[in-house]
């Protein structure tokens, strides 16, 4: 068997769509004799014969040209009844092929122009339904649906830290949501809250600042969007700034307004910002709350056109936001009620210090009026230290599982592959398994281009994304991957954070993220692109001597979810653990544990939930006070001293 050959992968891809006929054979060893052109399996099958769709070439010249006059794509006059918007070719003189669409955004369109519900001042409390728009927002077959292990994500221990305790809510029906929001939650297909939602929903509705750390794919976006939007829905008419009536608005003719959002969501990547915007478009449906997204690389003029129609929920990447904050005639933060920092640990680092400083406290917002909500799947100490400066003294800290832990629904394989053999190993891996949506992570832009070219020339349907690509290319690549036209995406870490894409069955770390590329936190975020919201997934990582700095933490991460430890990593096995992954996971010591507790933490299993229920794998979430609990749930508790490193003394201001 070749060094890179893995075991048990086919079983880990239960939802993959295997080609008709026999399962493809492993091709290790034989591939070097294959013709230079197409990849072939051991029995001579091409990628298409084993079931991969044919690769689609991307016309860089054509699509990049389309970015030159992006204003022509403006949706300034779109209404709720429009059929799928056509690209306006008159102004530019070229015809864009509109092939793939995701939630109503076709290739060739900017995501910032995606259709939102256009409120008419004549509507009552809740606007009428619009079938076309509803179908686009909620009906897309490519949206992520809960998987067979949804119950698993509800079994994870929830720890409350800090000064405040919250009674969790189990069902959205019981959460006291605005009727329009409840309808939208139902249209989205959500009934049961995930743990992070169960705690932070009531906490936000009660008005607390929040720090929440929960595993990848556990519904953090909805955990902050649903309660913030719901809370504002009843008061929108009073709180929201004046805006022109969309029913009569004409771009360039009607008076434009300055955007005065009530909610600001900051996300570190453009891809994540547009994805959050999609979620906001869904949850704002049939209400007057108007979401907008601004991000670098996209056409500023289009984004301005959207803002000047009014904006209540602004989703933004930091750079573009700071840029717009300087243009006070376009945007003011003075009405802000909520600032949400998604992927907070990424944004609360020195890399973003200048921008985040300005956003958190340097705008014209009234600091005392703002609720801060910080969410992430990982939370190293440096980020926690910075976060504490912005939180009110009485805030809610929720941790679902260990901060930075990976999910049991993800099978993690580590295979030894020398650097010079990685391409071949990748090809063999892709050809030997049932075709499935796959993300291949590399550590450099150059590697992304090279691996993409290599796979494409071998007949595999791939696309790639990295920071040197134009925004047009980035949006098209994600759309092609989402729609399945290019089910293999080669990516650098830029796109790791937060991407939520239907049915990603396999994540391959072609390069492991060594410390300089984000280390184990980056690993957790990358593999978390699969196994989301109760679905199963597989993560395969190529390891060699260059990755030794990751060895020890990687082994602990694997042991935490009882993964098999390959022999070349046995040297890192802590005492008391076997190579089969057996051992007491509670004994594993991680850096992120070290200062998390402050002596006031309580776990749902111990105090708030029902341990028996959780252990038996049934649906979790104690909506009622558990029998026998002596708890002070819902009661504010002051710790005598704060030893956590989080701090509870919330001195406001810049870090
Ligand atoms: N209560 C729920 N029931 C069913 N599906 C849900 C629920 N909450 C969220 N989802 C879906 O789960 C998926 C993952 O959610 P989301 O992207 O918010 O995860 P996340 O925790 O932010 O992940 P990451 O840390 O990777 O950013 C989304 O497709 C979302 O629509």
Distance 187 CA to ligand 1 centre (A): 15
Distance 148 CA to ligand 1 centre (A): 15
Which residue, by CA, sits nearest to atom 30 of ligand 1? 219
- Counting from 1 in the atom list of ligand 1, the atom nearest the Cα of 172 is 1
Contact (CB, 8 A) for 264 and 225? no
Q: How far apart are the first and last CA of the chain?
A: 54
User: Mean pLDDT of successive 10-residue segments in the chain (655 residues)?
Assistant: 38 34 30 58 88 81 48 37 34 32 63 89 90 88 70 78 87 96 95 94 95 90 98 90 80 84 95 94 96 92 92 96 94 94 88 88 76 87 76 86 76 96 96 93 95 95 91 86 91 80 92 90 92 89 96 93 93 86 73 44 39 25 26 23 24 20
Distance 504 CA to ligand 1 centre (A): 14
Which residue, by CA, sits nearest to atom 4 of ligand 1? 190
Contact (CB, 8 A) for 349 and 316? no
- Counting from 1 in the atom list of ligand 1, the atom nearest the Cα of 214 is 21
User: If you write DSSP's letter for every residue of 357-421 in order, what string do you get?
Assistant: HIIIIISSS-GGGPEEEEEES---HHHHHHHGGGS-SSEEEEEESSTT---TTEEEEEEE--GGG
Distance 220 CA to ligand 1 centre (A): 6
According to the model, what pLDDT value does residue 373 have? 95
Which residue, by CA, sits nearest to atom 16 of ligand 1? 219
SS3 call for 293: strand
In the chain, the domains with their CATH numbers are: 102-400 (3.40.50.300), 410-580 (3.40.50.300)
According to the model, what pLDDT value does residue 109 have? 73
Distance 198 CA to ligand 1 centre (A): 13
Q: Report the pocket of ligand 1 as residue ranges, CB < 6 Å.
A: 144, 146, 190, 192-194, 197, 214, 216-222, 377, 498, 500, 528, 532-533
- Counting from 1 in the atom list of ligand 1, the atom nearest the Cα of 272 is 27
Residue 608: alpha-carbon gap to chain centroid: 28
Pairing between strand 338-342 and 263-266? parallel
- Counting from 1 in the atom list of ligand 1, the atom nearest the Cα of 216 is 25
Which residue, by CA, sits nearest to atom 10 of ligand 1? 219
Q: Quick count: other Cβ atoms within 10 Å of Cβ 85?
A: 19
Question: For residue 595, what is the enclosing H or E element?
Answer: none
With the most atoms of ligand 1 within 8 angstroms of its CB, the residue from 143, 215, 219, 225 to mutate is 219
Q: Quick count: other Cβ atoms within 10 Å of Cβ 35?
A: 7
Distance 265 CA to ligand 1 centre (A): 16
Residue with tokens 């544990």: 593
Q: What is the distance between the alpha carbons of residues 102 and 264, in angstroms, rounded to a whole number?
A: 24
Which residue, by CA, sits nearest to atom 15 of ligand 1? 219
Residue with tokens 């508790």: 637
**Which residues are paired to 340 by β-bridges?**
265, 373
Residue 293: alpha-carbon gap to chain centroid: 16
Q: Cα dist. 97→86, 92, 343, 484 in Å?
A: 10, 14, 35, 17
Record the tokens describing residue 132, joined without a space.
């076309």
Q: What is the distance between the alpha carbons of residues 537 and 408, in angstroms, rounded to a whole number?
A: 10
With the most atoms of ligand 1 within 8 angstroms of its CB, the residue from 269, 379, 533 to mutate is 533
- What is the number of alpha carbons within 13 Å of residue 607 lying toward its C-beta? 17
ipTM of the complex: 0.99
User: If you write DSSP's letter for every residue of 207-242 in order, what string do you get?
Assistant: T-EEEEE--TTS-HHHHHHHHHHHHHHTTHHHHSPP
Distance 377 CA to ligand 1 centre (A): 12
The CA-based dihedral angle spanning residues 564, 516, 490, 12, taken in that order and rounded to the nearest 10 degrees: 10
According to the model, what pLDDT value does residue 182 have? 97
Distance 260 CA to ligand 1 centre (A): 28
Contact (CB, 8 A) for 269 and 291? no
């Amino acid at each position: 068997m070749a060094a890179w050959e893995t075991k048990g992968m086919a079983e880990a891809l239960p939802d993959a769509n295997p080609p008709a006929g026999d399962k493809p054979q492993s091709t290790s060893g034989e591939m070097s004799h294959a013709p230079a052109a197409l990849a072939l399996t051991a029995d001579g099958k091409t990628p298409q014969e084993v079931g991969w769709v044919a690769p689609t070439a991307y016309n860089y010249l054509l699509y990049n040209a389309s970015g030159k006059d992006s204003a022509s794509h403006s949706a300034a006059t779109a209404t709720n009844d429009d059929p799928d918007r056509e690209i306006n070719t008159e102004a530019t003189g070229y015809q864009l092929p509109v092939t793939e669409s995701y939630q109503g955004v076709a290739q060739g369109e900017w995501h910032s122009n995606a259709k939102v519900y256009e409120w008419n001042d004549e509507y009552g409390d809740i606007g009428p339904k619009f079938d076309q728009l509803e179908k686009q927002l909620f009906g897309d077959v490519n949206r992520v649906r809960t998987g067979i292990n949804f119950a698993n994500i509800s079994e994870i221990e929830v720890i409350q830290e800090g000064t405040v305790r919250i009674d969790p809510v189990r069902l959205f029906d019981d959460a006291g949501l605005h009727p329009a929001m409840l309808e939208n939650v139902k249209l989205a297909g959500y009934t049961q809250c995930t743990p992070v939602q169960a705690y932070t929903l009531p906490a936000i509705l009660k008005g607390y600042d929040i720090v929440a750390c929960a595993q990848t794919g556990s519904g953090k976006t909805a955990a902050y969007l649903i309660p913030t939007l719901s809370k504002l829905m009843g008061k929108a008419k009073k709180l929201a700034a004046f805006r022109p009536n969309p029913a009569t608005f004409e771009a360039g003719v009607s008076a434009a307004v300055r955007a005065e959002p009530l909610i600001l969501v900051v996300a570190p990547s453009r891809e994540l910002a547009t994805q959050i915007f999609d979620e906001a478009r869904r949850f704002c449906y049939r209400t007057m709350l108007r979401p907008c997204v601004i991000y670098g690389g996209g056409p500023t003029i289009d984004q301005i056109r959207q803002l000047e129609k009014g904006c209540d929920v602004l989703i933004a990447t930091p750079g573009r936001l700071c840029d717009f904050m300087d243009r006070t005639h376009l945007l003011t933060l003075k009405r802000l009620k909520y600032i949400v920092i998604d992927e907070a640990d990424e944004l609360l680092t020195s890399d973003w210090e200048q921008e985040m400083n300005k956003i958190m406290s340097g705008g014209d917002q009234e600091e005392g009026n703002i609720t801060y909500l910080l969410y992430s799947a990982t939370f190293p100490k440096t980020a926690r230290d910075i976060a504490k400066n912005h939180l009110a003294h009485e805030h809610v800290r929720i941790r679902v599982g260990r901060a930075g832990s990976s999910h049991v629904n993800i099978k993690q394989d580590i295979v030894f592959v020398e650097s010079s053999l990685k391409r071949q190993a990748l090809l063999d891996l892709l050809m030997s398994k049932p075709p499935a949506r796959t993300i291949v992570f590399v550590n450099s832009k150059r590697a992304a281009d090279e691996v993409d070219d290599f796979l494409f020339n071998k007949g595999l349907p791939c696309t790639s994304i990295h920071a040197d690509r134009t925004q047009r290319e980035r949006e098209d690549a994600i759309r092609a991957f989402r729609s399945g036209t290019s089910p293999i995406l080669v990516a650098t870490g830029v796109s790791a954070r937060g991407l939520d894409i239907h049915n990603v069955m396999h994540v391959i770390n072609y390069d492991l993220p060594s410390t300089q590329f984000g280390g184990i936190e980056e690993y957790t975020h990358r593999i978390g692109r699969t196994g989301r919201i109760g679905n199963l997934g597989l993560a395969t990582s190529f390891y060699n001597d260059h990755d030794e700095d990751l060895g020890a933490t990687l082994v602990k991460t694997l042991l935490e979810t009882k993964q098999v430890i390959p022999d070349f990593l046995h040297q890192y096995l802590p005492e008391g653990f076997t190579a089969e992954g057996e051992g007491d996971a509670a004994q594993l010591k991680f850096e992120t544990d070290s200062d998390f507790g402050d002596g006031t933490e309580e776990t749902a299993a111990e105090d708030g939930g029902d341990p028996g229920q959780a252990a038996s794998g049934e649906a979790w979430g104690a909506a009622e006070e558990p029998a026998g609990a002596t708890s002070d749930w819902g009661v504010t508790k002051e710790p005598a001293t704060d030893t956590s490193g989080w701090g509870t003394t919330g001195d406001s201001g810049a870090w």
